[in-house]
């Protein structure tokens, strides 16, 4: 094998990852409600916004399919389609520092998406300036209100 081919293989292997990299939450808060109540509030909040659910096997987690944010927020129409397509992962876990529940919302997009794909490798968290942050804030507000009863 030539030296150039060997260098190419080394460079290629450095680009390959074993799985998707973790994405930090777009929003994370402690809700002053029991875990079971908060998990029910997750489902209700996502349903109230009309976001299409994606099946998940993880307890305490709700995932959506990719949604074109232009259908929810008019200002998102100025973004390229790959940046407008966003999916949400909402997770509720016991908070180790209180009797409440930690709720984390991840809003993800795939800027290099070229069609239908089930891979998560290209997914990134949306920037704080992205219009979908409005949906993140609405979700968190609804979850808190429904879980805390206010």
Domain boundaries, the chain: 23-148
CB 64 within 8 A of CB 53: yes
Helix, strand, coil percentages in the chain from 3-state DSSP, rounded to 5:
35, 25, 40
* Distant-in-sequence, close-in-space partners of 21: CB < 8 Å, separation ≥ 6: none
Residues in the chain: 150
What's the rounded Cα separation, in Å, for the pair 90 and 9?
Answer: 38
pLDDT in tens, 91-123: 999 998 888 999 999 999 987 766 555 556 678
pLDDT of the residue at 118: 53
Reported confidence tier of residue 58, pLDDT bands at 50, 70, 90: confident
Which residues are bridge partners to 108 per DSSP?
87, 125
What's the rounded Cα separation, in Å, for the pair 150 and 137?
Answer: 16
| H-helix or E-strand spanning residue 81 | helix 81-84
Residue 20 has pLDDT above 70, yes or no: no
Q: Which of 25-29, 79-83, 101-105 is least confident?
A: 79-83
The structural architecture, per CATH, of the domain 23-148 is 2-Layer Sandwich (3.30)
* Distant-in-sequence, close-in-space partners of 72: CB < 8 Å, separation ≥ 6: 49, 135
């Amino acid at each position: 094998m030539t030296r150039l081919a060997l260098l190419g293989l080394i460079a290629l292997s450095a680009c390959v990852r074993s799985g998707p990299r973790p994405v930090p939450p777009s929003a994370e808060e402690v809700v002053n409600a029991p875990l079971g109540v908060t998990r029910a509030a997750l489902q209700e909040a996502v349903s109230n916004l009309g976001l299409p659910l994606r099946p998940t096997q993880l307890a305490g987690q709700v995932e959506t399919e990719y949604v074109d944010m232009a259908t929810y927020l008019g200002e998102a129409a100025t973004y390229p389609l790959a940046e407008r397509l966003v999916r949400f992962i909402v997770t509720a876990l016991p908070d180790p520092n209180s009797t409440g529940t930690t709720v984390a919302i991840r809003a993800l997009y795939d800027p290099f998406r070229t069609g239908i794909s089930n891979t998560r490798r290209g997914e990134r968290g949306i920037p704080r300036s992205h219009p979908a942050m409005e949906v993140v804030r609405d979700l968190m507000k609804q979850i808190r209100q429904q879980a805390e009863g206010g």
